[in-house]
Amino acid sequence: MSTTVKSDLTIHPLAGRIGAEIHGVDISQPLDDATLEGIKSALDTWKVVFFRDQHLDHASQIAFGRQFGELTYAHPHDDRPPEDAPEIYTVDERRSAERFGIDRKQNPGRRDQGLFSGWHTDVTPAVNPPAGSILRADILPPYGGDTTWTNLVAAYEGLSEPIQRFVDSLRAEHRYAADWQGLKGGGAYRQRFEERALVANHPVVRVHPRTGEKALFVSPTFTDHILDVSPLESRWILEHLFTELLRPEYTVRFHWEPGSVAFWDNRATAHLAPRDLHHVDHVRVLHRVTLIGEVPVGPDGRESELVEGVPFVQTPVFAPAD
């Protein structure tokens, strides 16, 4: 029978506006209330926290995540998670290659790490995007493969006051295979996502339920367009906001090592999977669990609205593919 583990947390910030390493805790074991609150507090402040030299398997990663809330099913578009761990979403380019028929040698620029490799906040096409995500390293390349996060609260605070007031009032549609530039492409990705649509309208600025902070809630991967404006105006607004949220001073870049675990607040961050492995033949495998999230609320008190699909909870969003 396991016992609750007490620990002596130390927090080491990694960048000026986002990211900190947490030491002095074994997250493979049940944690006491003070340790859990210490991790939550560090997450509120630094938006993404990292643990080194951990020894997790699927079961202990799931158990760690459940101490912070209920977990989702693996992913809306993953119908083959581990049979004994349906909460686990495996990030492995070989799975995407098998699913969508991508030939890595003929398409070196399409070596996506998982379903997407662009800047994004996880699963925002759902009406209740995950509150947080926990990602652990399994198989790593000998070099490269870093992940980068950006602080969406800092991005909002970097806007001038008149622009803040303007974007406070806006809402946007989020969907898989978003097309914010109006340059519609094709391929198996788009066909799958159009056949199994998951779409939500979210406030462009959401209020964090724990801290009360305002954060930009848009990303190039999933935000399709701003509602109630012209296509040209939508592109102009989104391009400006994307430029702001990707400013280097709001970011932290994390180098994965064996035993590394990243835990990020999905309500206050966006992240970018590696883009430096396209030309090398290295395998990179990580495993993720996500915390069920609440419906976002904007500065005006309005909640997000479901357009297509169902909320993202413990059960699959879509029936398994034949």
Residues 6+ apart with CB under 8 A from 262: 48, 49, 50, 51, 134, 135, 136, 147, 254
Q: Which of 75, 111, 287, 288 is catalytic?
A: 288
The pLDDT, as a whole number, for residue 274 is 87
What confidence score (pLDDT) does residue 52 get?
98
DSSP 76: T
For residues 97 and 59, what is the distance between their CA atoms, to the nearest angstrom?
27
120 is catalytic: yes
37-41, 178-182, 212-216, 243-247: which has the minimum mean pLDDT?
178-182
- Please give the pLDDT value at position 57: 97
Four-residue CA torsion sign, 188, 192, 197, 199: negative
Q: What is the pLDDT of residue 183?
A: 75
Catalytic residue among 112, 122, 224, 265: 122
7 versus 251: the higher-pLDDT residue is 251
Q: Specify whether the CB–CB gap between 117 and 318 falls below 8 A.
A: no
Length in residues, the chain: 322
Task: State the helix-helix crossing angle for 188-195 and 93-100, rounded to 10 degrees.
Answer: 80
Distance of CA 164 to the CA centre of its chain: 24
Number of helices and strands (H, E) in the chain? 7, 16
CA distance 175 to 295: 16
Q: How far apart are CA 124 and CA 147, in angstroms?
A: 19
pLDDT in tens, 190-239: 666 777 889 999 999 999 999 999 999 999 999 999 999 999 999 999 99
pLDDT of 58 > 80? The answer is yes
Write out pLDDT tens, residues 274-316. Answer: 888 777 778 899 999 999 999 999 999 999 999 999 999 999 9
pLDDT of the residue at 318:
83
pLDDT tens digits for range 75-134:
998 878 998 999 999 998 776 656 655 555 454 444 343 444 489 999 999 999 999 999
Q: Kindly name the residue from 17, 77, 136, 271 that is annotated as catalytic.
A: 271
Is 122 one of the catalytic residues? yes
More confident position, 245 or 7: 245
| Interacting residues of 236 by C-beta distance below 8 A, sequence separation 6+ | none
Span 41-56, pLDDT tens digits: 999 999 999 999 999 9
User: Contact, 127 vs 305, CB < 8 A?
Assistant: yes
State yes or no: is 112 an active-site residue: no
- Which pLDDT belongs to residue 214? 98
Nearest to 155 by CA among 61, 17, 266, 290: 17
What distances in angstroms separate CA 241 from CA 98, 156, 235, 247, one per listed residue? Answer: 35, 9, 10, 10
- Do 150 and 61 meet the contact criterion of CB atoms below 8 Å apart? no
Laid out side by side, the sheet with 223-226 consists of 223-226, 171-175, 199-203, 305-308
Catalytic residue among 120, 175, 202, 206: 120
- pTM over 0.85, yes/no: yes
Higher-pLDDT residue of 55, 7: 55
Radius of gyration in angstroms for the set of CA atoms belonging to the chain, rounded to a whole number: 19
DSSP of 80-105, one letter per residue?
A: ---TT-TT-EEEEHHHHHHHHT--TT
Q: What is the mean pLDDT of residues 254-263?
A: 97
Bridge partners of 174, per DSSP, are: 200, 223
Q: In 3-state terms, what secondary structure has residue 238?
A: helix
Give the phi and the psi of residue 136 in degrees, each rounded to 5: -120, 145
**Residue 186 pLDDT class (50, 70, 90 cuts):** low
Q: Please choose, from the candidates 25, 46, 300, 77, the residue with its C-alpha nearest in 3D space to the C-alpha of residue 151.
A: 46
